[in-house]
A and B are shown apart, each in its own frame.
Chain A
């Protein structure tokens, strides 16, 4: 888990680790299911050492081992503000597939159209998973919005594959 994500979740109020975990779960829905619960504590400990969060031992209850309350330090707040202002976006990795088609065709190793078909089947399988998960979410849920993002990206990739298919059909018939 990226440090800044955990820091930003703490910006609301000083919290226990399990409260942060619950907020993450809420935001991610079914996407958060595979998340390793220990990860958030590793991240918190690392950020404490870096002076981004301060940790206080709360008066504990015997049945609740998690007694640490974490709060943002001034440095932590600054980092969150910087992160919010930063413009970043995940990079799609299209070049690899594109070069695979070109190399396969040039060397006669494989039919590029067969590669496109295989790729399309895989993307459709993923789209089906994301779509099913989206259909199971209540209207306007936070996790539903994230799933919608996945669906739209996969649709864009599928459209590109359609273009690849058309293009390679023309090239092959020449």
Chain B
């Protein structure tokens, strides 16, 4: 999908999601506004229960907001019918989840192809695109493996390849390293870094400070609202040795 220059890929204004009524009313997302520019990597960080997953679902059109508005690729999600929303979701968004959500009975390559086939691409085009993506994530030699035969880090990389198969405007990732040990986390972070370098727009919600530290922009979320924003740009502190107890 293409975008008009200078416009946000993703924009939210006064976004709210409420559950329950009266005394039991819970504001899972409370007046959140956000602009994500093309090519940006944004991490939304906060403790579990702060509303970050709900927010991601609203941004990706998986769930409807109680109030406020989301624009994706310039289209207001609230004004779309179910069908049009599903189509926009399929074409413009790639989702990555904590629990991978791969189909157990399909191979790595088939898992990656599936969304392209559902979007109406020819089997041959889908297969070619899947092969390219598996190559890119360094798993070309595992194309014929079932998810059960892959490590956690490899499964998540396959899930990321699947999210990319329709060339989405934005990839939305919900706690993508939540189920991974630190070595596998590093694999996924390397992959996100290469996606960022290739210009992919990424929004990641997480409580993992490692991801947050690699994102260009970091938003802290508490009790449904954004409370702080940091841009980690600029040079390095240049003193890694001191962090390990080495004298200069």
Contacts and interface: CB of A to CB of B under 8 A. Distances in A.
Interface of A: 1, 28, 30-36, 90, 117, 121, 124-135, 139, 146-155, 158-159, 162
Interface in B218-248: 218, 228, 230, 232, 236-241, 243-248
A135 B232 contact: no
B190 A135 contact: yes
Given A121-B230, A126-B237, A152-B182, A135 B193 contact: yes
A129 B228 contact: no
16 contacts: A28-B244, A34-B240, A35-B241, A124-B213, A125-B237, A126-B243, A129-B236, A130-B240, A131-B210, A132-B214, A132-B236, A135-B193, A135-B214, A150-B244, A155-B209, A158-B209
B138 to A, nearest CB: 11
Interface residues of B, number: 28
Interface of B: 47, 182-183, 186, 189-190, 193, 209-210, 212-214, 218, 228, 230, 232, 236-241, 243-248
Given A128-B214, A131-B213, A34 B182 contact: no
A28 B245 CA distance: 12
Q: Is the interface of A mostly helix, strand, loop or mixed?
A: helix
B186 A34 contact: no
A148 B239 contact: no
The 4 A-B residue pairs with the shortest CB-CB distance, nearest first, are: A127-B213, A128-B213, A129-B236, A158-B209
Contacts of A154: 209, 243
A134 B209 contact: no
Contacts of B244: 28, 31, 146, 149-150
A31 B240 contact: yes
A151 B244 CA distance: 10
